Structure 1
Amino acid sequence: MSNISINSEKPRLSFWQIWNMSFGFMGIQFGFALQNANVSRIFETLGASKDNLPILWLAAPVTGLLVQPIIGYYSDRTWSNKWGRRRPFFAVGAILASIALFIMPNSPTLWIAAGMLWLMDASINISMEPFRAFVGDMLPNEQRTSGFAMQSFFIGIGAVVASLLPYLFTNVFGVSNTAPEGEIPDSVKWSFYVGGLAYVSAVMWTVFNTKEYPPEDIEALKKENSEKGIFGGLAESFLGIFKMPKTMVQLAFVQFFSWFSLFAMWIYTTSAVTEHVYGVTDPKSVLYNEGADWVGVCFAIYNGVAAIAAFLLPLLAKRIGRRWTHLFALACGGAGLISIFFISNPDMLAFSMIGIGIAWASILSIPYAMLSSALPSNKMGYYMGVFNFFIVIPQIVAAGILGFILKNFFWNDAIYAMIVGGISFLLAGLLSLFVNDKDEVSVAD
């Protein structure tokens, strides 16, 4: 494999080769899912008010805005005969994220927990962003939809297990689910410990079981790095937003409204479910912690659905095209979020999660499959990093305005964040129809 460059015609990889190169994403999702399902719970336990949650969550998108394009740029320009191009970033990010996962649930104060979110999210981005470019590096065009689908499958599996961990520790292993005021329950602590070990183990499986293709001209790569230097590289990374291909510009609008919805869900689902469905607001109460655990179960359900849908959506895309498939999936997500408003029985939330899972599977695969067909192979990581601006910018916008909207228009009731998110999903789906999908005819193997 080592004598083939990333700009040459790539051979088709076997199922197990795609499996190995994607397996690390399962570990990354342990960190991501534990963060999404439990950080608001940790913040509220440490004294955060509901309208301050979006500002505390601001760490996640800001670190993504800073880290992802830089990592994408430099992962394009890195090469080691032993470690390859992307794998050094996988490994470093995994080690740092695992450390943050061990520290986060032991945070004694709110500001330390917020700081750990910064570290955790930055580390996740270091290992996650090059994984997107990895598919473009390693697979021919006709296998990329399957490559991103395999990533989505492992994302789903990792998220299911990680989201269930607090519930399992409480109800299967008998670990305490409550704690004195200002302390995180042991069920959450042990979930983060397991997540840290799973993260680094899964990523290292990919690092040690995958070989990468070298760049076309290693000497030219070294010369470019030397001439531009670190500051020139940073400037080019952030100026890339003004050089995006047409398809990338069109997808940017789809991504904006999709990720606005997701961020609203991740911030406010715990508050919405405990308040609207369970009728409780005290983080120290048994009922609140039961509701928070059930949110983890709900997140496991939508991620489980996503793992299955990841393999079904390419089949649908082959029949009706990737744009219409993405519209269908996002409409399912919008209906799922809005339906939470009408639910009073916690068990019924499972049906809402089905729609959200279909949307999540599509968001993790179809936009990247469309984008990778429109990008030059030697700048895959760079443009994937720039593309992630339109994941983090909507999250920054959501963090800045959702608290204000809820407080001033919806009586500070978190359930309305679910409705706003649902409408945003529907808008993103409609915008996907305007994307110029270069390879829409050949969207599946």
Structure 2
Amino acid sequence: MNKRKLSFWEIWNMSFGFLGIQFGFALQNANTSRIFETLGAKVDELAVFWLAAPITGLLVQPIIGYFSDRTWHSKLGRRRPYFLVGAILSSIALCIMPNSPTLWVAIGTLWIMDSSINISMEPFRAFVGDNLPESQRTKGFAMQSFFIGLGAVVGSALPYIFSNWLGISNTAEGGVIPDSVKWSFYIGAIVFLLAVLWTVFNSKEYSPDELEAFEDHKPEFTVEITPKENVNRIAKLMRAGTIMTVFGVILNAFLIYLMLDKELYILSGGILLVGVLFLIAAWFRKLKGINGFVTIMTDLLYMPSTMKQLAVVQFFSWFALFSMWIYTTQAVTSYVYGSTDPTSQLYNDGADWVTVLFAVYNGVAALVAFLLPVLAKLTSRKITHLISLVLGGLGLLSITIFKTPELLIISMVGIGIAWASILSMPYAMLAGALPPRKMGYYMGVFNFFIVIPQIVAASILGFLLNTFFGNETIYALIIGGISMIVSGFLTLIVSDRATIEINE
């Protein structure tokens, strides 16, 4: 049996929830640094405070993916229960965020908000793999890119719309979030919930029995877990855990000895923690047998080849994006508008313009989302991704050239093309290479290669700016532009491999 091809409107309905999800992400990306700085954060601390978001994704997405692979509800199906729970929690957090009385409350709320958004978002990627045949997956991920772009256009521009079109104040006394930002988050909460509800109640899912019968859910070959193979897996966990633990200890000692910036301990501490988790998983596997934790940790070492190759590409492209999200507001307000005072009119005008710029690149992403599959058909998905990422890198670098706010729109065009491709092409290349019964889990693990570069960026960008660039944030965007161009050329190493099903 093969899955039936879905109509345009069926793909539309199953992707519509991403409109709300990206509405929430757009508000978070465009306004979090502004909120943190208003509540007293220093420029060189922003990257560390932002870490709540990626670390949350690192923890939540594979866990949600693992459990969604094993969930079946008679009315809501496999993935939709997670859409619904995440949307409710996200909407509550969006209302709390702009009312944070202190910096630490805002950081904690970001953690909760990002956890909730990830609960909704992660299963959406597997949703495409579950419901669409291989011939329609590129179109399915392109539809998600369209709604991501569309939602982010309005979400990013809301503070500007409220302050410039509706006359709501975009300034406030020290330590208070402007009303234009507050109302933007309230509207975002409503849109998030309604959009996800649309997908929940207007989409269907195949049951586990139906999925087992489909040809594209049958692996090309299977690896059985024999006693000998189990011993090999224990040894591999021990080896990975030992190497990472020893390296983490040495790196932490080195940082302590040199008394380097605290941001760097996040990366070294993370390496040490993962090493310890691998060792614990090896111990459990040897003495207690296989459980959910052991399976999650073991599968990290047995990723499909295509996923490993895409991981390198993802590292550099998301490093670039994270540098942009953290520092664009500060770079534009200081480099173009000439103000670093968060209470000044000039700074807030610049911050509002950044929300417009973010709306522009997301709008471009929405417009080109359906052109990328056409280009991929004429060339290949790899070449399409290469071209898109190079244009995005050039867009980031061009911000250093333009000194007039309006000209920065040109920069956003290239970034928008790259964003559309980042949201679709890697997932389209990946979906066919994943073991079908672990689609949700591996889509969640794939988020590691979004999160790890963000942790690296947050660990080193503040240190680099403070140590070498006199806290001139425009250099963060230069580093990001170079990184995105590198990621484009690394796409050429990606190749498709056969799907391997592991029975455990």
TM-score tier, shorter chain, comes to over 0.9
Question: 2:430 aligned with 1:334, yes or no?
Answer: no
Q: How far off is 1:238 after superposition?
A: 3.4
Q: Where in structure 2 are the equivalents of 1:40-439 lying within 5 Å?
A: 40-216=33-209, 232-437=291-496
User: How far, CA to CA, are the matches of 1:72 and 1:344 in structure 2?
Assistant: 45
The answer to whether the 8 A contact 2:84-2:200 is kept is yes
1:235 CA drift (Å): 3.2
Question: Which has the greater radius of gyration?
Answer: 2
| Contact 1:260–1:424 (Cα < 8 Å) also in 2 | yes
Cα deviations across residues 235-259 of structure 1 (Å, max 9, x unaligned)? 3223322110110000000001111
Check conservation: 2:154, 2:359, Cα contact below 8 A.
yes
Cα offsets for 1:288-315 (capped at 9, x unmatched): 1000000000000000000011111111
Asked if 2 retains the 8 angstrom alpha-carbon contact of 1:323 and 1:437, the reply is no
Please say if residues 69 and 238 of structure 1, whose CA atoms lie closer than 8 Å, have aligned partners that are also in contact.
Answer: no
For 1:238 and 1:322, the matched residues in 2 are separated by 30
Give yes or no for contact 2:157–2:359 (8 Å, CA) kept in 1. Answer: yes
Deviation for aligned residue 1:233:
1.5
Aligned residue type for 1:237: I
What RMSD in Å do the two structures reach over aligned CA positions?
Answer: 1.6
Partner Cα distance (2:344, 2:53) in 1:
28
Q: Secondary structure at the match of 1:328?
A: helix
Unpaired runs of 5+ in structure 2?
Answer: 213-284, 499-504
For residues 347 and 126 of structure 1, the distance between their equivalents in structure 2, rounded to whole angstroms, comes to: 37
User: Using a 3 Å threshold, how does the CA distance of structure 1 residues 436 and 218 change in structure 2: closer, same or farther?
Assistant: closer
Counterpart of 2:206, as a letter, is Y
For the 8 Å contact 2:392–2:481, the answer to whether it is kept is yes
Amino acid at match of 1:170: S
With the length of structure 2 as denominator, give the TM-score of the two structures. Answer: 0.82
For 1:294 and 1:239, the matched residues in 2 are separated by 46
Q: Give the partner amino acid of 2:314.
A: Q
2:305 and 2:497 in contact (8 A); partners too: no
Q: Once the two structures are aligned, what percentage of the paired residues are identical? A: 69
Q: Does 1:18 align with 2:11?
A: yes
CA contact (8 A) 1:251 1:435 kept: yes
1:370, 1:438 within 8 Å by CA — same for their partners in 2?
no
**Residue 422 of structure 1: how far off its partner (Å):** 0.4
Q: How many residues are paired up?
A: 423
The question of whether the paired residues in 2 share the 8 Å contact of 1:31 and 1:196 is answered with yes
SS at match of 2:40: coil
Q: How far does residue 217 in structure 1 lie from its aligned partner after superposition?
A: 8.2
2:431 counterpart letter in structure 1: S
- Cα distance in 2 for partners of 1:216, 1:362 equals 34
Q: Which amino acid aligns with 2:382?
A: R
What is the Cα deviation at residue 409 of structure 1?
1.1
Q: Deviations over 1:65-118 (max 9, x none)?
A: 100000011000000111100000000000111000000000000000000100
TM-score normalized with structure 1 length: 0.93
